[in-house]
Amino acid sequence: MSTAENTPAPTLSDWVAGARPRTLPAAVVPVAVGAGVAAGLGESFGDGVVWWRVVAALVVSLLLQIGVNYANDYSDGVRGTDDVRVGPMRLVATGTASPSAVKKAALLSFGLAAVAGLALAIATSWWLVLVGVAAILAAWGYTGGPKPYGYLGLGEVFVFVFFGLVATAGTTYVAIEEVPWVTWPASTGVGLIACALLVVNNLRDIPTDTDAGKRTLAVRLGDQRTRWFYVLLIALTFACVVVSAIDRPWALLGLLGIPASIGPVKQVLGGATGPQLIPVLGGTGQTQLVFGLTFAFGLALG
């Protein structure tokens, strides 16, 4: 690991790779689903929805996801837990960017997210400021600070709460300033598929995380139970679609994401390990995106 501050300046493509684009569906899907819930309440599509707020919510979500990725890159890099990886390129561990530069990128992302979030709070309710502060602190504390909770097996809790419940319900709220009951099964499904993305990432890293003392949930569960946990998360995601359809029958369009999930599930149950799980990460992201967009459209049909 290189920690030298005289590291050559990374290129734009390096920063894009460090932002880990394959994880960004986790930021897009909750906003899309939350907006779908809001749009479905109107007599006509989008009636009553304040769309600039939805766009601002998307900006917040994307910047938080990018900030988390840079923060993880920095924190894991300076701890040395990324010295041996089989996943996407890390800026600090490879010496592509200095730790201080990556830390600044993370803080800049969080700062810009805070600005967009503040605009939403001014337009709706000041309690959103507290939610935003909690989200940023949780994002940094995932792998940062003296006792990162991601190292204790609690990363899935953060993802479920903030990229599931909070991001989805928050989008619905800022769009129409109310939260109908269907938001909760919908946001639960969003959180579960986001957790599946993290679980398959951590499944791939079990050997290196174990050696580094990083006690993720996957390390605690072990290889086989983590594989079945991944399958359970996928199954429960689509179960939430069915529950949501009690109120919004067209929500069943979200089941169109099932075919996209078959390949990743087969690979996980087939025993894929190490680099073989990198395509599974991409496939899970595709599943998440297909599920999220079709589900959101169905919810919007009301």
Span 195-241, pLDDT tens digits: 999 999 899 989 988 887 888 999 999 999 999 999 999 999 999 99
CA–CA separation, 227 and 225 (whole Å): 5
**What is residue 207's three-state secondary structure?**
helix
Stretches in the chain below the pLDDT threshold 70 = 1-8, 43-46, 81-88
pLDDT at residue 278, as a whole number:
87
pLDDT at residue 82, as a whole number:
60
CA–CA separation, 195 and 134 (whole Å): 19
pLDDT at residue 2, as a whole number:
41
Name, in order, each residue with C-beta under 8 angstroms of 77's C-beta and a sequence gap of 6 or more.
Answer: 1, 3, 90, 91, 92, 93, 99, 102
**Chain mean pLDDT for the chain:** 90
Q: How many CB atoms lie within 10 A of CB 125?
A: 14
- Helix/strand/coil percentages in the chain, nearest 5: 75, 0, 25
Name, in order, each residue with C-beta under 8 angstroms of 216's C-beta and a sequence gap of 6 or more.
Answer: 150, 151, 153, 155, 202, 205, 206, 209
Mind listing the domains of the chain with CATH numbers? 12-301 (1.10.600)
pLDDT at residue 3, as a whole number:
43
Tokens for 79, please give them.
């701890």
Q: Which residues of 135-146 are buried (b: 16+ CB within 10 A; e: fewer)?
A: bbebbbbbbbee
Q: What is the DSSP string of 129-146?
A: HHHHHHHHHHHHHTT-SS
pLDDT at residue 151, as a whole number:
82
User: For 40-182, where are the alpha helices, taking DSSP H only?
Assistant: 51-79, 99-123, 127-141, 155-160, 167-176
pLDDT tens per residue, range 268-297: 999 998 889 889 988 999 999 999 999 999
CA–CA separation, 69 and 19 (whole Å): 6
